[in-house]
Chains A and B, each alone.
Chain A
Amino acid sequence: MIIHQHFSVSALCNTYLVASKATGEALLIDPGSVELDLINLIEANGLELTTVLLTHGHLAHREGLGTLEKIYDVSVWASEYSRVPFPFNAVGDHDVLHLCNMEIEAIHVPGHSLDSVVWKIGGALFTGDVLHSGWIGRSGGYREQALLLQLIEERLFTLDENTLLFPGHGSPSKLRIETLFNPALRTRVSRRAVP
């Protein structure tokens, strides 16, 4: 698997270009904006972009989609609860997709937004605004925040502690790092044994 990051200066969000080493088929996660750097990243690496995955429907994470669809013929995948104003393929919790020669699992983690999906590709999680390095997604109220914390604990922290995290904003991380150092989670997520 190949993973490239692109930081969208206008939307201040991370866009991830994930590709199969074997076939060169690629997908984009959260095209916040489509800039020349991103196009160069796809073309310079000789990748064939076929798919877009959205972690949620907030504008900052999908604003570049219109431009992208003028350049590439892509299929868009998002949560079944998504209300984005364009056609997309809906996925439910724990649906497994086989796209771009990769196995992709959708993990529904509402709280930041109803349609938040964490995409699990191999040993990597693309968390959007659910879980960042050092903080969790902002919610509309304390009930949503409690739900988000509960679901992060139940659906993400049951995965292997060395799972890589690629959030929608900020730096990459691992589940173990967030268990130990994320102030929003330290009081809830029980620390696991050191290998």
Chain B
Amino acid sequence: MFSLQQCSTDGCHHYAYTNSPHCYYHAVDKERILGEVRQLLIAEETINDLSISEAHLSGLTLPATRITGSNLAWCTFTDVDFSSSVMTNCFFDFCLFERCRFNGVDVRYSVFAGSRFCDCDLSDSRYIHSNFSGITAHRTNFSSCDFYYSTFITATLIDSSFEDCNLKKTDLRNTERRGVSFRYSNWQEAHR
């Protein structure tokens, strides 16, 4: 698990960057940190215990990376391809994902709550025991996914597709849905 040490800047609640007293936002050498993280994401097949908040990462393709126990909350991801990655115990809460791909990913016990997805493709994947509460999804494809025991409470889903998904024990209470298709999904087995 990433270090639960908080940023040493007064009033900052973010977790500190890996092996640093400050979070990325309050670090003096942001460029170096961003370079390190970019290199880690595109070169390493296994990433454990990474913690970075409020970074903007764009134009990356991850090589089917296995990410465990990491915190990337409040980050912005533009044109990032996470396809075929395996994520366990990862925190992507309050992130912005623009034109990102998550095809064939295996995500377990991870958190995307409060995030915004625009023009993303999350299809053909497993998101088991994962937290999508309060997300906003625009033109995002969630089709052919397994959402067993995942939560979408108070999510806003617009022009998005949940076709042919496993929704057993998926919590869809209090969601706002416009132009959302659940065709061929076991809608009846979800909490709604």
Interface residues of A (CB under 8 A from B): 1-5, 7, 14, 122-124, 133-135, 160-162, 164, 169-174, 176-177, 180-183, 195
Contact = CB atoms under 8 A, between A and B. Distances in A.
B114 A177 contact: yes
A162 B171 CA distance: 23
Contact of A134 (B4, B93, B129, B153): B153
Contact of A173 (B6, B108, B111): B111
Nearest to A5: B109
Q: What are the nearest 5 A-B pairs in CB distance?
A: A123-B4, A171-B131, A181-B134, A134-B153, A181-B133
Given A160-B6, A177-B114, A180-B134, A171 B150 contact: yes
Contacts of A173: 111, 113, 131, 133
B21 interface: no
Contacts of A7: 129, 149
Contacts of B97: none
A154 B152 CA distance: 26
Given A123-B4, A133-B113, A177-B133, 20 more contacts: A1-B1, A3-B89, A134-B133, A134-B153, A134-B173, A135-B171, A160-B6, A160-B13, A162-B13, A164-B4, A169-B149, A171-B151, A172-B89, A173-B131, A173-B133, A177-B131, A177-B134, A181-B114, A183-B153, A195-B14
A87 B153 CA distance: 40
A134 B12 contact: no
B85 interface: no
Interface string B56-75: 00000000000001000000
B11 interface: yes
A171 B170 CA distance: 11
Contacts of A133: 113, 131, 133, 151, 153
Nearest to A177: B113
B133 A170 contact: no
Nearest to A195: B13
A183 B130 contact: no
A165 to B, nearest CB: 9
A162 B6 contact: yes
B9 to A, nearest CB: 10
B4 A1 contact: yes
Contacts of A172: 89, 91, 109-111, 129, 131
B174 interface: yes
B181 interface: no
Contacts of B15: 162
B117 to A, nearest CB: 16
B154 interface: yes
30 contacts: A2-B1, A3-B1, A5-B108, A14-B129, A123-B4, A134-B133, A134-B153, A134-B171, A160-B13, A162-B13, A162-B14, A170-B151, A170-B171, A171-B111, A171-B131, A171-B149, A171-B151, A172-B129, A172-B131, A173-B113, A173-B131, A174-B111, A177-B133, A181-B113, A181-B114, A181-B154, A182-B133, A195-B12, A195-B13, A195-B14
A164 B129 CA distance: 15
Contact of A171 (B1, B6, B88, B109): B109
B129 A174 contact: no
A180 B133 CA distance: 9
A160 B13 CA distance: 8
A174 B109 contact: no
Nearest to A6: B109
